């Protein structure tokens, strides 16, 4: 029987990282921006890069960074940035 190893992912950019420096506590909420998503529970973890943007309050730079990390062909780059900005706005509204 093999043991499953779960590698945590950054909740901002989706990057897999073994160790995270920062977890941002938030209230449980259901996203209005991404209605099919599961409830956001307890906390968002951030990789080193995303933590730096969050700590500086540089949300536009964070959105651009995440848009470059998240690979999808379904949206243009600008659409991704706009969606990510809205997702992060919800996070800030529920952050404790
Ligand atoms: Zn990240």
pLDDT at 40: 76
Which pLDDT tens digit goes with each residue over 59-77? 999 999 999 998 877 899 9
What's the 53 CA to ligand 1 centre distance in angstroms? 9
- How many Å lie between the centroid of ligand 1 and the Cα of residue 45? 8
Tokens for 20? 């995270």
Report the pLDDT value the prediction gives residue 29, as an integer from 0 to 100.
86
Measure 3 CA to ligand 1 centroid, in angstroms.
26
Q: Using an 8 Å Cβ cutoff, are 12 and 55 in contact?
A: no
What three-state secondary structure class fits 47? coil
| pTM for this prediction | 0.84
Q: pLDDT band for 3, please (50, 70, 90 cuts).
A: low
pLDDT reported for residue 16: 86
Tokens (6 digits) for 8: 């945590």
- H/E segment holding residue 44: strand 43-46
């Amino acid at each position: 029987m093999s043991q499953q190893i779960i590698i945590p992912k950054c909740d901002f950019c989706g990057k897999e990282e073994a160790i995270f420096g920062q977890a941002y506590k938030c209230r449980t909420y259901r996203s209005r921006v991404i209605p099919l998503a599961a409830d956001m529970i307890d906390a968002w973890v951030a990789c080193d890069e995303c933590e730096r943007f969050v700590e500086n309050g540089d949300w536009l730079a964070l959105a651009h960074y995440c848009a470059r990390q998240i690979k999808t062909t379904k949206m243009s780059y600008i659409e991704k940035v706009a969606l990510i900005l809205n997702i992060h706005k919800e996070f800030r509204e529920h952050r404790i």
